[in-house]
Amino acid sequence: MTAISLIVNGERVEAEVPARLHLADFLRERLGLTGTHLGCEHGVCGACTVRLDGAIVRGCLVLAVQAAGCVVETIEGVSDSGELADLQEAFWRRNALQCGYCTPGMMLAAADFLAHAPDPTDRAAIRAHLSGNYCRCTGYEAIIDAVEATARARRAA
């Protein structure tokens, strides 16, 4: 077991963890933050996306011990902060939620895109940025519509 200390959604967390415990499993099983989903467990589907020191990462590829000393933000923390309110509303309005399994990872990836893209209304760029997040229900068009609509609304505000 290894002692770790990190900040999760603004709160200091200290725990003893096995060296091979993945961050996504730690968040779900130890902290009860079940918005971080596990899909492929190979880093391909994006369902386990979280922020680690501000960068989006795959929680199934990061070990909990690697997050020691870091700031971790999950969908619960980012949602509670209100940062995603307009994006969540756009997803809802455009029916981009469907079953919801991919939604937490998709939201964090979309928020990352909106924060860093030179032109966040560029549909091809939205599609490319979200290409690492799989959705089996929506066909992606509604998701891209929601991200573009959020970018346009933010630009107009």
146: which 2 tokens?
């929601």
Buried b (16+ CB within 10 A) or exposed e, 122-142: eeebbeebbeebbbebbebeb
Residue 3's SS3 state is: strand
Model confidence at 137, in pLDDT bands (50, 70, 90)? confident
Residue 143's SS3 state is: helix
Q: Which residues contact 156 (CB under 8 A, 6 or more apart)?
A: none
Among the listed residues 130, 122, 61, 63, the one whose alpha carbon sits nearest the alpha carbon of residue 102: 130
Mean pLDDT of 128-145: 93
Q: Which residues pair with 50 in a beta bridge?
A: 57
Give the number of other Cβ atoms within 10 Å of residue 63's Cβ: 19
Specify whether the backbone of 140 is left (phi greater than 0), alpha (psi in -120 to 50) or beta: left
Q: What architecture (CATH level 2) is domain 2-79? A: Roll (3.10)
pLDDT tens digits for range 15-45:
999 999 999 999 999 999 999 999 999 999 9
Q: What is the pLDDT of residue 116?
A: 97
CA distance 134 to 129: 12
Among the listed residues 25, 121, 104, 107, the one whose alpha carbon sits nearest the alpha carbon of residue 65: 25
The whole-model pTM stands at 0.95
Q: Where in the chain is the domain with CATH 3.10.20.30?
A: 2-79
Give the number of other Cβ atoms within 10 Å of residue 93's Cβ: 12
Q: What is the pLDDT of residue 139?
A: 80
pLDDT mean across residues, the chain: 96
Q: 82-156: which CATH topology?
A: DNA polymerase; domain 1 (1.10.150)
CA distance 39 to 32: 17
Please say if the pLDDT value at position 138 is more than 90.
no
Q: Where in the chain is the domain with CATH 1.10.150.120?
A: 82-156
pLDDT tens digits for range 87-108:
999 999 999 988 999 999 999 9
Q: What is the pLDDT of residue 98?
A: 86
Please say if the pLDDT value at position 136 is more than 90.
no
